[in-house]
């Protein structure tokens, strides 16, 4: 039930993906729909016809599984569109994959060849699409551990849209972007994803790039923030533990002592364990693990 103004619309209707229509009529072809109808994606996409596109994506989940969301920023030289969606029961990796699939699907629907600069803070997504997926497909979707590949449906969808874009002449560059490092595009995608995970609807931008307040110029991150993250990691050895965390066979457990944690992980292959020094540190460790294991 959207046409013009700062009102949310679903495009296309069947996907439930949300974005802000927020469009001035001068930027759109003459609408074919009456007020109260859905504004179809083709009407918006006709406005974006430039050679280079920058994309930032992120996914979030409150538990593994649990409620989650994903967010993406799609920017040409003239326009920026934010999209996202929530899910009541999902995982972090599924949301990371969904953000990549939907943002590249958006580019695919533009119907032209572009240079696509992808900025993703999930090594799981980047390694999967650039290193692993071809082998998985060749081996019947069985991984190196002789197990079925998790999230096969999403990996197939991502591989499919990447293949379609490459066939149409698009060039896709995958860039790892460290989270919480002062990279504004990543920070904004994180806000969109976490708001959807918390069942809150963010105010999604859709207008001229010159009006967008988020700096989308790619960079390696704020050196001070990166150094602070490294310092925090290196300084934990001399700080009293807040908790000990272990991840065994996909199950996360919090421990009050190292002895308890060690007993669970000792002699078990493929485990993760780590000391946290605060509640915030504990949450950060859990979030990072959820990005790496699904």
Q: Which residues are catalytic?
A: 58-59, 96, 121, 180, 190
- Give 135's Cβ-side CA count (13 Å radius): 10
Query: What single DSSP character describes residue 27?
Result: G
Identify the H or E element spanning 79: strand 79-90
Alpha-carbon gap, residue 128 to 123, rounded angstroms: 8
Q: How do beta strands 66-75 and 251-255 pair? A: unpaired
Coil, strand, or helix at residue 74?
A: strand
Write out 217-270 in H/E/C secondary structure. Answer: CCCCCCHHHHHHHHHHHHHHHHCCCCEEEEEECCEEEEECCHHHHHHHHCCCCC
The contacts of residue 210 (CB under 8 Å, 6+ apart) are none
Buried b (16+ CB within 10 A) or exposed e, 218-240: eeebbeeeeeebeeeeeebeeee
Alpha-carbon gap, residue 9 to 19, rounded angstroms: 6
């Amino acid at each position: 039930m959207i046409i013009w103004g700062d009102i949310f619309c679903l495009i296309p209707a069947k996907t439930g993906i949300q974005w802000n229509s927020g469009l001035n009529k001068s930027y759109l072809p003459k609408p074919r729909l009456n007020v109260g109808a859905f504004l179809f994606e083709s009407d918006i996409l006709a406005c974006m016809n430039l050679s280079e596109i920058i994309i930032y994506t992120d996914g979030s989940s409150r538990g593994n599984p649990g409620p989650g969301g994903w967010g993406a920023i799609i920017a040409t030289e003239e326009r920026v569109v934010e999209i996202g969606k929530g899910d009541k029961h999902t995982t972090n990796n599924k949301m990371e994959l969904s953000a990549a699939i939907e943002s590249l699907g958006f580019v695919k629907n533009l119907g032209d060849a572009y240079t696509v600069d992808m900025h993703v803070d999930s090594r799981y997504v980047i390694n999967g699409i650039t290193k692993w997926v071809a082998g998985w497909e060749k081996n019947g979707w069985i991984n190196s551990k002789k197990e079925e590949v998790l999230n096969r449906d999403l990996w197939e969808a991502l591989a499919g849209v990447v293949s379609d874009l490459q066939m149409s002449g698009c060039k896709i560059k995958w860039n790892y972007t460290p989270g919480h490092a002062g990279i504004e595009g990543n920070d904004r995608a994180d806000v969109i994803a976490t708001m959807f995970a918390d069942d809150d609807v963010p105010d999604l931008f859709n207008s001229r790039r010159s009006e967008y307040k988020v700096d989308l110029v790619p960079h390696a991150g704020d050196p001070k923030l990166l150094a602070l993250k490294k310092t925090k990691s290196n300084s934990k050895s001399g700080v009293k533990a807040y908790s000990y965390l272990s991840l065994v066979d996909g199950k996360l457990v919090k421990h009050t002592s190292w002895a308890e944690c060690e007993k669970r992980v000792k002699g078990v292959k493929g485990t993760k364990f780590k000391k946290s020094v605060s509640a915030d540190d504990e949450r950060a460790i859990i979030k990072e693990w959820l990005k790496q294991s699904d």
